[in-house]
Structure 1
Amino acid sequence: MRILLIKMSSMGDVFHTFPALSDAQQNIPGLIVDWVVEGAFSEIPKWHPVVDKVYPIELRKWRTSLFRKQTRQEIKAFFKEVNQTDYDLVIDAQGLLKSAWVARKINAKIAGYDWKSAREPLATLFYDSKCSVAKNQHAILRLRQLVAQGLGYVLPENAPIVYGLDTQAWSKPQLVTEQFAEHEYWVFLHGTTWDTKYWPESYWIELLKKVNALGKKVILPWGNQEEHERALRITSSLEGQNNPSGRKVWVPPEMLSLNDMAKTLKNAEAVVSVDTGLSHVAAALEVPMVVLYRVTDPKLVGADGSEVVRLESPCAPDYIKKFSNHNQEIESLQGLSVDDVLSALLEKLKG
């Protein structure tokens, strides 16, 4: 059986889909999955062994230049390529009008969420098979239930999350080996989108010092100039960093590629992360990790998995993009102290 999965973005959504593929692979012998995904994430789907073809789609670019001849030609060529393969089923795992539009242009029957389950109910008008999936569940469970219903098998209640990625052969990137040789290391994922989701630099510095005192080395990766500067400030709190042989913390001189970042996370002993896309990567790679939810609620879309510990402040359910006063800012750090984080991670590492 060969199916086509449509799950185009975002990074977290893509990683949330893997447990559903692991379920399907276990329940349907010989299953092959092809995947339509945004070009920026096209290297990710093949990390799962059930995935064969990946079709990078430039939907965001197309929407800004829909009336250009070149865009129309690209759209035509894209769907011509996809339709060269015969599919037993297309599963729209996003439940949006844009994903339903993509699904409808494939020559196969379509399964998706029903009217009460889809994020954009009008999308369900395009589906041949409609699946009822309660909305008040984590995105991972919703996807597992959707795929199970679409393919006709029963998902056991409380079935453990298995990402099932084929990463056994992944070794440390050469850059990491050059810095730390065979020493174990931790990764601090300090970068995120909203200012209110950041963990204070003073907290990172204190945590870094305590982790170094335990004999652990730390990597501070970054994804833009602001994050690079923050990583350097945190690093500058330690003395003796100009001596490579005694290096306890490393800031990569260049932004790591997604593949190198994933391999760095996979081979880490532990990870501490704020609410960011890379926390979903580490969760899928089953690395012991503590994730800090200062102003966002992890119950529906947070990083999840067997090795994930989630710490939430009292403000986590409120989705605060700007603090209304200083007291609220202080409240948003309750339960997220350095000692809270370190003790939670050390407990996780004990197994």
Structure 2
Amino acid sequence: MELTDIKFDCIHFKGAYPCKPNKTHNRVCLNCEDYQPISKRILIIKLGAIGDVIRTTPLLIRYRELYPNAHITWLTLSPAVLPKDWIDEILTPDATAYFRLQNMAFDIAINLDKEHEACALLAKVEAKEKYGFIWKDNHIDVATEKATHKLMTGLDDQLSQDNERNYLDEIFEICHQEFRQEPYLLNINEELSMKWNSLKEQAEGKKIVGLNTGCGARWQTRLWTDENWIAFAKLLKEKGYYPVLLGGKQEDEKNRFYSEQADVFYPGHFSLEEFIALTANCDIIVTQVSMMMHIATGLKKKMVLFNNIFNKYEFELYGRGVIVEPQSGCDCFYGNSCSRERRCMHDLSVEQAMTALEDLN
């Protein structure tokens, strides 16, 4: 076989290493039965946060439908949550990745982040079609007019509050596509998920309700009160549910306290991969707007979502969730501090949360 026989455009081509058909079947490029030419080379730039990365994955389904033999590269800060079987190459942003991408050619390049580095990269990357946000004339701009609505709602609070479109509608439009209820895709460690099947034994047939008590450090105005979480956990027990406290390292002390006060199970905090596996064994999730909202959606779980500072129309719950908001409303749109003496989340009652949860059954 000569160098000219190498099928550099094959979906299986791995650069300087033997491809899978060569390793498993000793096949060579010349007359290879597994040869599949790449139909499109696609780049997706979605760096973070974790929840935003998860809720961008429905685009993978659309592009795989349009171009089954596409080669898809994704640049992200959150590789652990991405479905590996759907993406050919996952890169994390560093000097090497930026250098490589600027020396590659794509058919389609998409940037859904408004960070300067992401916009600048889209401007530098060679691509026949570019969608999303780009760097132009020393400022963030739109690659096509379809991204204008999303850019404007990010720049003007009043436009954002008046918006009645969800995030998925918006990003599909940015890519000149139409959202058709494509689901989230999520990387699930099945071995860890099996490990946490023990929850079902502990619950003894009761419905397992995962209580995700944190919401990240950026917008603490989202937090429900300690008193309400404890009272809600106790009420769940009284009504025959099996509550489980969930959270990360920053919620550990709080969850231990809640567990002691309400006498409910708290398994501890884990890696993101194991946190997803643990969540997969719950029946219903109760959470403030957080990464957990997207994990639960990706796992197709029923969900009670507490919201105050965000536009509720932004969230796509696929008919499996209900949004509960403070009865007194909220004055602090996208605010990380509260203008009231008594935070509005005090006015989201335990009874409201329980009614919403029971309406899901």
Q: How does 1:52-131 map onto structure 2 within 5 Å? A: 52-58=88-94, 75=95, 77-82=96-101, 86-113=105-132, 122-124=139-141, 127=143, 131=146
Alpha-carbon spacing, 1:169–1:228, altered in 2? closer, same or farther (3 Å): closer
1:260-315 superposed Cα distances (whole Å, 9 cap, x missing partner)? 11112222100000122222221222210111113333333x46333221112211
Decide which of 297, 302, 307 is 2:320's aligned counterpart. 307
Q: Distance in 1 between matches of 2:136 and 2:201?
A: 47
SS in structure 1 at match of 2:285 = strand
Q: Aligned partners of 2:128, 2:235: CA distance in 1, in Å?
A: 56
User: Would you say the 8 A contact 1:296–1:316 is kept in 2?
Assistant: no
Quickly say closer, same or farther: Cα 1:84–1:195, change in 2 above 3 A: closer
- Give 2:87's aligned residue: 51
- Equivalent in the alignment of 1:155: 178
> What amino acid sits opposite 1:299 in the alignment?
Y
Closer, same or farther in 2 for the Cα pair 1:121/1:95, shift >3 Å?
A: farther
Kindly provide the amino acid, as one letter, of the partner of residue 278 in structure 2: T
C-alpha distance 266-84 of structure 1, shift in aligned 2 (>3 A) = farther
Which residue identity does 1:235 align to in structure 2? S
Shift of 1:167: 4.9
Given that 2:229 and 2:258 are in contact with CA atoms closer than 8 Å, whether structure 1 keeps it comes out as yes
1:322-348: CA deviation from partner (whole Å, max 9, x where unpaired): 33444x53x4444x2112112212221
Where do 5+ consecutive residues of structure 1 fail to align?
Answer: 59-74, 240-248
Q: Equivalent of 1:283, from 293, 297, 317? A: 297
2:231 alignment partner AA: E
1:130–1:345 distance in 2 versus 1, CA, 3 Å: same
Residue 235 of structure 1 aligns with which residue? 259
Partner in structure 2 of residue 323 of structure 1: 338
Structure 2 residue aligned with 1:242 = none
Counterparts of 1:34 and 1:94, CA distance in 2: 16
1:346 aligned onto 2:358 = yes
1:12 matches 2:51:
yes
User: Is the 1:46–1:52 contact (alpha carbons within 8 Å) kept by the matching residues of 2?
Assistant: no
2:224 to 199, 202, 210: 199
Q: SS of the residue aligned with 1:291? A: strand
Letter of the 2:169 counterpart: L
Distance 2:137 2:322 in 1: 31
How many angstroms apart in 1 are the aligned matches of 2:275 and 2:359? 25
Q: Which amino acid counterpart does residue 318 of structure 2 have in structure 1?
A: G
C-alpha contact 1:291 1:311 (8 A) present in aligned 2: yes
Give the alignment's TM-score, normalised by structure 2.
0.72
Q: 1:325 to 1:103 in 2, by over 3 A?
A: closer
Change in Cα spacing, 1:179 to 1:50, as seen in structure 2 (3 Å) is: closer
Distance 1:119-1:202 versus aligned 2 partners, 3 A rule: farther
Match of 2:266 in 1: 251
Asked if the contact 2:310/2:333 (under 8 Å) is kept, the reply is: yes
Which residue in 1 is equivalent to 2:248? 223
**Residues 109 and 191 from structure 1, CA distance in 2 versus in 1: closer, same or farther, beyond 3 angstroms?**
same
**Contact persistence 2:41–2:70 (CA under 8 A):** yes
In the alignment, residue 53 of structure 1 is paired with which amino acid? Answer: E
Q: CA–CA distance in 2 between the matches of 1:119 and 1:15?
A: 28
Aligned to 1:264: 278
Kindly indicate whether residue 41 of structure 2 is the aligned counterpart of residue 2 of structure 1.
yes
Instruction: Evaluate the alpha carbon distance shift between residue 182 and residue 303 of structure 1 in structure 2; reply closer, same or farther with a 3 A threshold.
Output: farther
Q: Is the 8 A contact 2:223 2:345 kept in 1?
A: no
The one-letter code sitting in structure 2 at the alignment partner of 1:347 is: D
**Count of aligned pairs:** 302
Tell me how far apart the structure 2 counterparts of residues 121 and 191 of structure 1 sit (CA, whole Å): 37
C-alpha distance in structure 1 between counterparts of 2:274 and 2:290, whole Å:
17
Matched-pair identity in %: 19
1:6–1:36 Cα contact (<8 Å) kept: yes
What CA distance in whole angstroms lies between the structure 2 residues aligned with 1:163 and 1:101?
27
SS of structure 1 residue aligned to 2:267:
coil
TM-score (norm 1): 0.74
Q: 1:68 — aligned with what?
A: none
Say whether residues 1:208 and 2:233 are aligned partners: yes
Query: C-alpha distance in 2, partners of 1:237/1:315?
Result: 29
Q: Residues of 2 paired with 1:114 and 1:92: CA distance?
A: 6
Instruction: Quote the residue 2:201 is aligned against.
Output: 181
The verdict on how the C-alpha distance between 1:306 and 1:319 changes in structure 2, with shifts beyond 3 A counting, is same
What residue in structure 2 maps to residue 143 of structure 1? 171
Task: Give the structure with higher Rg (CA).
Answer: 2
Quick one: structure 1 residues 306 and 170, their matched pair in 2 at CA, closer, same or farther if it must change by over 3 Å?
Answer: farther
